[in-house]
Amino acid sequence: MRWHILGAGAIGCLFAERLARAGCDVTLLVRTEAQLEGLNRLDNIVSVQIDNTWHLARVDAETVADSSAIQHLLVCTKAYDGLDAINAISPRLAPDAQIVLLQNGYGHQQKSALALAPRPIWAGVTTSGARRTGPFRVVQSGEGETQIGRLNLPEGADHGLPDGWSTLDHRVVLNGDINRALWQKLAINAVINPLTALHGCRNGELLSPVYRQELTTLCTEIENVASVCTQPLFDTTLLEAVLEVAENTAQNRSSMLEDLSAGRPTEIEQITGFICAAARELGEETPLNTELLNAVRFEQRRKNREEQA
């Protein structure tokens, strides 16, 4: 069994190692010949550090433009790249290809499922933490768990996991209400990511009393939007859930902080942008979310101007 992985960043490499360790063949799909040559120079090895031990996985690699057929596809691209990347790869997908979307944000997964129908599509959220320290080299900062569930489940279809995922040495939970899980991840990301990116702090620093009012206001706005969307979030308050995640990932730097610091595009549009757009459609006010959305947009433009100067 072979899994192709689209998106060779931190999460893509983390799951490449996990799938390879479970006995699956793995092919990384890269954009350029230069990336292909870079992996070749590493002897096609993906390296993942787990609890101070390096785990090495030998993988194959192809460019997206290659012509071989794809039967199993894991998509780990940034949310803003997802649809374009899937459209580029779709001619290679077998008619019954299994596809797992493991991305931040909300809304683009459903669009991808429509574009790829009637193939079986799973969406996933993971609490695994990982940061890239070099090309195809990742440090796992937290094992976490991964929830996945079918987005397009026809009547009588199999409710099980994708091929090979039950053998991963990692907790994978089949979730019958994956849209709620996607919303839960979205809500937490919409609080932690823009705040850490703009304040330049690690997740745990948000536990400081100086940030409590911002956290409370953000959580209230997001809960109001979810309520109007008739989307339940947590059994506790969103604030309690955010504080728990911030404590459990205290030393982590959010992906938005990493991207903004490096001058890369962020997923602000697919996270906070989605919240604000949903609020506008429903006549709900989200002043602090809108302020953070505009602030991250401003910082992205400023970084771009600095790089071009």
- Tokens at 1, concatenated: 């069994």
State yes or no: is 303 an active-site residue. Answer: no
The answer to whether residues 117 and 95 touch, using CB atoms and an 8 Å cutoff, is no
The answer to whether residues 150 and 157 touch, using CB atoms and an 8 Å cutoff, is yes
Q: Residue count of the chain, please give it.
A: 309
In which element (H, E) is residue 221 found? helix 212-228
Per-position DSSP letters for 98-138, written without gaps between them: EEEEE-SSSSHHHHHHHHHTTS-EEEEEE--EEEEEETTEE
Given 78, 111, 185, 303, the catalytic residue: 185
> DSSP class of residue 68?
-
Dmax of the chain from CA atoms? 58
Distance CA 122, CA 100 (A): 5
The answer to whether residues 205 and 188 touch, using CB atoms and an 8 Å cutoff, is no
- Catalytic residue numbers, as ranges: 185
